[in-house]
Amino acid sequence: MNIFETRMNELYGLVKYHASLYYDKDSPEISDAEYDALVRELNQLEKDYPQYARKDFLTHNVGGSPSNLFAKVEHSTPMLSLDNVFTPDELSAFFERIDAEGFVCEMKIDGLAVSLVYEDGIFVRGATRGNGRVGEDVTENLRLVDAVPKKLIDAPSGIVEVRGEVLMTSERFNAVNALRESRGEKLFANPRNAAAGTLRQSEKNNHVIAERGLDIFLYYLVDAEKFGVTTQAGALTWLSEHGLPVQEAYKVCNTLDDVKDFISRWQEERFTLGYATDGVVVKINNLTRWPEIKATSHAPRWAVAFKYPPEEARTRITDIIISVGRTGVLTPVAILEPVRLAGTQVSRAGLHNADEIARKDIRRGDIVRVRKAAEIIPEIIEADKDSRTGNEEIFTMPEKCPICGSLIVRLPHETAYRCPNRASCPAQLTESLKYFASRDGMNIKGIGKKLAEKLTASGKINSLSDIYTLTADDWLELDKIAMKSAENILSQLEDSKSRPFANLITALGIPEVGKNTAALITEHFGNIDALMNADEESLAEIDGVGTVIAHSVHEFFRNEGNLRMIEAFRKMGFVLENETTGKSTELEGKTFVFTGTLETMTRDEAGERVKALGGKVSGSVSSKTDYVVAGEKAGSKLRKAESLGVKILTENEFLSMTGGN
C-alpha cells in the first residue's frame, strides 16, 4: 500500500468519524473549517488517484443517517447538499463551467436543513434532510417552533413543499448556553448544533423546543414552475407573500463581478444579521435551466457555496478570573490582550470549566489562538506551547468562592464547581436581580448590570423583594442619579407588580424553569398557593414538564427564604394568579411587520401587544401584510412596504391603534 492509498484510508476514517459527530450526534469535535479541509484533501486525492477511491463512501452522499428516534420519510425529490468553493479563482471556474447569466446570492445559513409540506395551505409534515433521500419525520417537533407557519396565506390548493434551515439566533444561542453553563452541562459548540440538537428531541423531551426558541428561513420552492414561478428571486418573493419567513440578505446579481461585490460586502456585514452564516450561496436565477444543468449524486451543478475563511487571531492571556453565575456555578474566564475578531473587539473568552482548561493545557501568560465560535462566542482554540518562556502559570480552581468566601462544592454528576451560598452570595444575588428585572421577567428597564451590582454592594437588599422597599432617597444615594430617574425606577417597580403571574414565576429564576415552562405550570395550577402546595408527582404529570423540572420547582418552594419572599410579594399586591378575562380580538386577521428601532418598547414587546389583540406578526413584508410599523433606522422592509403600497405606521400611530403607551 503506497503513501497515497494509506492517506486516503486515513482520511476516509477521519471524515466518517467527524461527519457522524456533526450530523448524527450534533456534537462536533473540530471546526467546520477543519472538517472542510479534510474533505477537500480527500476529494483532491480521489481526483488524482481514482484507483484507490471508494465509490460508495459517505462523502459522495449528503448529511448523516436518519435517527431511529423518528419515523423515516422519503423525500419527493432529493435534498442535496452544496459543493463548496473557497477562493475567487474557484468561484470563477464555477461560472465558466455553467456558462449562465443572472444569479441570486443568498447568505449561507448555518442551520439544520428541513422540508415542510403543506396540503391545501395547512402544515402536514416536516422532515430533516437525513442522507438526502431519506430524512426524519419531525412534524410534531416543528409544530412547536413558533416561526414555522402552521397555515399559509392565500395558499394554492394541493401540495406545496418548501425547504429551508431551522436555526438558532445569536441571542438565543447565548442564552441557551448560559443556562447550560449554570447547570454544569456541556455547552453547544455552535448555533447549528444547538438548533439540530433542539429540534431532534424525543417526544419525552420536546418541551425544550419552545423553551429554546428556534427560528427558520425558507429558500427553496419545490416544483416552482407549477406555481408560475420561473426564477429563484421569484421563488423567494412567492415564499414571502404566502407567509413563509425569508431572510432579507439576498440579491440578484447579473455578472461575476456583481457576485464578488456581494461576497465582499457581506464578509463583515454578516456579523450584524443576528444569526450565524458561514458563506454565500450563488444560484442561477433562471429555474428553468436547473434541470438542463443537472446535479451530481450529492450536489446541484447550478449552485455553489462560497465559504468565508474562518476568522482567528493570536493574543495573550493576561489573567484567568472566576465568574460566579446566578445559580452559583463558577466559570473560569480568560482576560485577553484586546484583539479584533469577527467585527468586534475581543478582550475576554470563556473557558467553560476546569476540565476543559486542563485538557487544552491553557495557562496564564500563554499566547493563544482565539476565534469566535460560529461568529458569536469568543473561544480559545489552543495555546502556542512553543512560545512559552517558563513564566506561565498553571491554573487551578479556588477552594473558596472569590465573592463570598464560601467553600465551593462539586457534585459527582457535574463538571461545574458551585458556590452553595445561594442565600447571601452577592454575585448570585446580583445575577438573580438582573434576571428578575429582565424583559421575560418583571421588565424593570431601570435595573441593569451596573445598578444590580451597586444594589448588592450597598447591603440594602438581601432578597429580590427588598428592591420594592427602597425609597427615592435610597435610589438617589445608591446611584447618584437625578430625582427624575429615581422616580422613573419607582414607577417601573410599581408597574411591575401588575405583570402576569407567569412572568413573576419566570423572574424568580427557578432552576430549569424558563418563560415557556413558567407558562405551562401557571396555566395548570392557576395560582401561587396551588403551585406552592403541589407535590413532585403532580408537577411531573404536566405535559412538557417532566421529573427534573418538577423536582426543581418543588425544592424551590420548600426553601424558607423563598417562601418569605413570596409572602412579601403577596403583601405588596403582586399578581399571584392567572387572569380570567377573555382575549381581545380587535386586530384579528391583521398582520403586522416591525422594522427599525422602537423608542418605547422592543419589537418583541410590540409583537406581544399585537398578539394580545388577536393579530399576527410576520418577519417579512408581502402584499398580504396589513401594517408595517417603522422605527428609527428602518431598512429594506420599509422600502418593500412602500413599493407594495402597504400601510406604514409610526410608533405613535401604532400605540394609538393598540390602546396607548
Please give, one letter per residue, the 3-state secondary structure of 415-447: CCEECCCCCCCHHHHHHHHHHHCCCCCCCCCCC
Helix axes 449-458, 426-436, angle to 10 degrees: 140
What φ, ψ does residue 340 adopt, rounded to 5°?
A: -85, 130
**Which residues make Cβ contacts (< 8 Å) with residue 72, sequence separation at least 6?**
66, 130, 134, 135, 136, 137
Other Cβ atoms less than 10 A from the Cβ of 615: the count is: 22
Q: Which three cell numbers stand for residue 236?
A: 423567494
Phi, psi values for residue 150, rounded to 5°: -90, -15
Kindly calculate the radius of gyration of the chain based on its CA atoms and give it in whole angstroms: 27
Question: Would you say how long the chain is, in residues?
Answer: 661
Bridge-based pairing state of the strands 627-630 and 112-119: unpaired
3-state SS string for 295-312: ECCCCECCEEEEECCCCE
Q: What's the N-to-C CA distance of the chain in angstroms?
A: 77
Which stretches within 144-219 are classed as H helix?
170-182, 191-199, 207-212
Integer Cα distance of 590 and 586 in angstroms: 9
Q: Cα separation of 386 and 309, whole Å?
A: 25
- Residue whose entry in the numeric block shows the C-alpha cell 473568552: 349
Contact at 8 Å (CB) between 509 and 436?
A: yes
Question: 23: which DSSP letter?
Answer: I
Which contiguous run of DSSP H or E holds residue 457? helix 449-458
Catalogue the active-site residues.
108
Write the single-letter amino acid at 468.
Y
Residues 224 and 104: beta-carbon distance below 8 Å? no
Give dist(CA 550, CA 543) in Å, integer: 11
56 near 297, Cβ under 8 Å? Answer: no
Query: Dihedrals φ, ψ of 396, to 5°?
Result: -130, 145
